[in-house]
Structure 1
Amino acid sequence: MSRKGLGLAAGAAAGLAVYALKIEPMLVEVTHPELFLPRLPAAWDGVSILFLSDPHVWEFGERERRVVELCAGLEPPDLILWGGDFLGSYRGVVHAVRLVKELAELFPGTPTFSVWGNAEHKIRPERRAWLEALLADVGVCTLTNESLPLTLRGETITLAGCDDPYYGFADLEATFAALTLERFTLFLAHSPQVAALAARAGVDLMLSGHTHGGQVRFPFVGPWKTQNPLSRLLDCGAFDHARLTKILGYDPGGNLTTYISRGIGLAFLPYMPWLAPRFACRPEVARLTLRVG
């Protein structure tokens, strides 16, 4: 390659690096998926869920302000769900709670629930208890291997949430103990690796994060890595029963629909704490609309 060609290649590589490290990680977008669910109660048709996951907050900075600004322009949701990994470091507790609080103030009175991600298990138990208390103070109920009835528009469903599956804290037997197949079940789990088990248990809709959509995606290849032990291909977006069956290579049973968020924040590459790119995988806040179908 000529000297000119090498210079152009080096310039292009530098430009891509700047984009992936400095620009795309701040380009948070709101997505508006519609999820068609066969067993959704008729009264819940059109229910909206603001689903946020993996903010990985270190400080309240540009990305966090962008999330609040984007959400301020949305119609009030019926429900707010957080998919875990609030923290980017143990120092991020108060900053993460500030993000949650500012969103709660945009939509006062909206029922809000969360689960823990693996990031919350990187801090001491007493610090995690402090985080849970701070979240409760701003109206967030943290579900830890449990389920409860949730009533909206005069119709009750089951809302279930497990502790982090990725680090092995999920107890699905306890989480699903009170499930009844007569009632629609919405399940919140940080990592989508439990999708097959949720399908087998009769869950109708599972919302997850953890994968960051791969964070770096390549044309025709997809995500480089998703940290999903079940399948790298369960990366982001919606997966109905047929698509899940195709990816798994077997029918898990049930009629589960899974939605996996690309997340808000960043994971650093192993052994390179300064390297946290996003490429072809913008940060996501999902405003989901549930539909009967």
Structure 2
Amino acid sequence: MAKKQTRRTFLKRTFGSFLTVLGLSSGGYLYAHRIEPSLLDIQEQQIKHPLIPKSFEGIKIAQFSDTHLGFQYNLTLFKKLAAKINDLHPDIILFTGDLMDEPNKYTEMNQLVPILETLHAPLGKYCIFGNHDHGGYGSEIYRNIMETTNFIVLLNESIPIKLNDGSSIYLLGIDDAMLGNPDLPLALKKVPNNRFTLLLSHAPDLAESALQYPIHWQLSGHSHGGQVKIPFIGPLVMPPFAQKYPEGLYTIGDENPLTLYVNRGIGTTRLPFRFMAKPELTIFTLRSVES
């Protein structure tokens, strides 16, 4: 697995990024602080693999991540996001961690729960822990909110997603790499051979470890796409376990490769800015292909 970094190191780098942001023009500052964080980029991707049963052809999955409610992102924006997700009629909804920025200090639980309850997906709603979901003694707060709103919390475990004809794929979820204890062998323990496996890992860089197992796709968040990207320099805010794969689609490995997709997330953290890293909602369509 990737080497852990201290929180102090991360904060030092974040502070350096903050100084860079302050160097932007006033117009750039306004855009990065007020405009881009409220925008929404809807990305569409196809998940193709020979082990996806033909009956799953066209199944739609919506992934959202890293809302960080309570820092900059608010419930008004979150309600609009939920409406947009429902308008797209996904069959499956996935949340890949960091719901609240500081769970133990968040004061709007009563308004948050009804919004999460409105999200509808006939084949289920699933989620995993991010580092902020564990932070501030928030683990049980997060779990209770998600389970109350009919999300299935996957913590180093798997679940089959089945259709009426008996065909299935397997969804896996592991714990966060920074503040949790991810365990891939435990998550795979009940997965039969020769089934399509889709892994949810908040930390994208754990794909290096997932490559050693029979895992076909991985969906992650955590990186915020760098949150602030400077032309010719690239992303500035690179948290631990999101430094090698900051955003988008990757193919990892040559023999039996793993496909990784890293969602840029919705909210912000540490710094209330996004620049060239718009908030993202990703829609995946499953495709069955010949071997």
- Give the TM-score of the pair, scaled to structure 2: 0.81
Q: Is the 8 A contact 2:51 2:194 kept in 1?
A: no
Matching residue within 219, 233, 243 for 1:207: 219
Aligned equivalents of 1:156 and 1:102: distance in 2? 29
Matching residue within 252, 261, 264 for 1:262: 264
Q: Which runs of 5+ in 1 are unaligned?
A: 1-9, 246-250, 269-274
Aligned equivalents of 1:32 and 1:100: distance in 2? 27
Q: Is the 8 A contact 1:68 1:99 kept in 2?
A: no
Matching residue within 72, 78, 84 for 1:64: 78
Deviates more, 1:219-228 or 1:110-119: 219-228
State the one-letter code of the partner of 1:192.
Answer: P
Deviates more, 1:253-262 or 1:115-124: 253-262
Quick one: structure 1 residues 209 and 183, their matched pair in 2 at CA, closer, same or farther if it must change by over 3 Å?
same
- 2:57 aligned residue: 45
Q: Is the 8 A contact 2:82 2:118 kept in 1?
A: no
Structure of higher CA gyration radius: 1
Quick one: structure 1 residues 188 and 93, their matched pair in 2 at CA, closer, same or farther if it must change by over 3 Å?
farther
- 1:194 aligned residue: 206
Aligned equivalents of 1:37 and 1:153: distance in 2? 21
* Offset at residue 216 of structure 1 (A): 1.2
Q: Cα RMSD over matched residues? A: 2.5
Corresponding residue SS for 1:281:
coil
Quick one: structure 1 residues 33 and 282, their matched pair in 2 at CA, closer, same or farther if it must change by over 3 Å?
same
* Offset at residue 133 of structure 1 (A): 2.2
After superposition, give the CA deviation of every residue in 1:89-113 in whole Å (9 maximum; x if it has no partner). Answer: 2256564685564254242644011
* Offset at residue 138 of structure 1 (A): 1.4
Matching residue within 139, 160, 165 for 2:172: 160
Matching residue within 219, 227, 237 for 2:248: 237
- 1:117 aligned residue: 130
- 1:6 aligned residue: none
Q: Is the 8 A contact 2:63 2:95 kept in 1?
A: yes
- Give the TM-score of the pair, scaled to structure 1: 0.81
- 2:66 aligned residue: 54
Corresponding residue SS for 1:56:
coil
- 1:105 aligned residue: 118
- 1:88 aligned residue: 101
After superposition, give the CA deviation of every residue in 1:258-278 in whole Å (9 maximum; x if it has no partner). Answer: 11100011121xxxxxx3210
Residue 180 (structure 1) aligned with residue 192 (structure 2)? yes
Quick one: structure 1 residues 197 and 180, their matched pair in 2 at CA, closer, same or farther if it must change by over 3 Å?
farther
Quick one: structure 1 residues 37 and 216, their matched pair in 2 at CA, closer, same or farther if it must change by over 3 Å?
farther
Residue 141 (structure 1) aligned with residue 141 (structure 2)? no
Aligned equivalents of 1:97 and 1:109: distance in 2? 25
Quick one: structure 1 residues 188 and 266, their matched pair in 2 at CA, closer, same or farther if it must change by over 3 Å?
same
Q: Which runs of 5+ in 2 are unaligned?
A: 1-21
Residue 170 (structure 1) aligned with residue 182 (structure 2)? yes
Q: Is the 8 A contact 1:159 1:185 kept in 2?
A: yes
Matching residue within 56, 61, 77 for 2:90: 77
Corresponding residue SS for 2:161:
strand
Quick one: structure 1 residues 93 and 205, their matched pair in 2 at CA, closer, same or farther if it must change by over 3 Å?
farther
